[in-house]
Amino acid sequence: MDAAKQSTAAFQLKASLHPFTVLQLDTQDTSAIVSDLQQRLAKAPQLLKNAPIVIELPNQPISLEWSEELITELKVLGFIPVGLRCQQEQHKVAEHLNLPLFNDSPKANKTKPPQSTPAKLVKQAVRSGQQVINPEGDLVVFGNVGQGAEVLASGSIHIYGTLYGRALAGINGDTTASITCQKLESELLAIAGQYQVSEDVANEHRQQTCHIFLKDERLIIQSV
């Protein structure tokens, strides 16, 4: 083999931030879970189909048989389970399913204080297919966020233009984060894992200057 080829690395390992959708379960009623997910998929197939998800198990005794059934049903629906969030006593479920643990105590992150680091400024539009992330604070966009584009921040997101694409604030669990935009036409809004797709946004808020925030673990949209 040529010496130059031998010295060329076959791959590289790089750190990366990939926020996942969290499926927070409050029941072990598999049929109810599947039915609800089917309805959501019908509303937004392009956002949820083949989506990698982290499953937050209900705070109840979980059988290994039920966990296997759940994973099977999720895969049939087209979801890709990539990990679990669960309590200490449920770790055997993660081991049985051969899935990594993402957070032993997900509830603890929900009171995370606002970030104090400087905001990341984006001085142009975010075009379709682009993704902009600030993992350590707020994100400010001086332009539109196009359809198919995605902006994410651990803090709040401020858009001085029209939001056509997706905006995900508080991606590390900051429930005090918010989203503001000059005009709202979003594909998806999310704060600390709570989200709304375009079909769930009331018509009265469309094309309006809006402020989006969390209250009682629900996403609230206010037109300004």
**DSSP-based three-state secondary structure for 132:** strand
Instruction: Report whether pLDDT(91) > 50.
Output: yes
**DSSP-based three-state secondary structure for 181:** strand
Tell me how far apart the alpha carbons of residues 46 and 165 are, in angstroms, rounded to a whole number.
12
Model confidence band, residue 173 (pLDDT cutoffs 50, 70, 90): confident
**Class of residue 168 by CB neighbours under 10 A (exposed 0-12, middle 13-18, buried 19+):** buried
The tokens for 30 are 């598999």
- What pTM does this model have? 0.61
- Cβ atoms 165, 142 nearer than 8 A: no
Task: Give the pLDDT confidence score for residue 73 in this predicted structure.
Answer: 94
Per-residue pLDDT tens for 66-82? 999 999 999 999 989 99
In 96-208, beta strands by DSSP E: 101-103, 120-122, 131-134, 139-141, 150-153, 157-163, 166-169, 179-184, 188-191, 194-197
In the predicted model, what is the mean pLDDT of residues 53-69? 91
Helices (H) and strands (E) in the chain, counts: 5, 15
Task: Give the pLDDT confidence score for residue 196 in this predicted structure.
Answer: 84
CATH of 21-104, one of 3.90.1150.10, 3.30.70.260, 1.10.730.10, 3.40.50.300: 3.30.70.260
Q: Where are the domains of the chain?
A: 21-104, 120-223
Query: What sign for the dihedral angle of Cα 14, 19, 24, 30?
Result: negative
Shortest CA distance to 116 belongs to which of 151, 61, 156? Answer: 156
Fold category of 120-223 in CATH: Pectate Lyase C-like (2.160.20)
Instruction: Report whether pLDDT(115) > 60.
Output: no
Among 4-8, 30-34, 113-117, 190-194, name the most confident range.
30-34
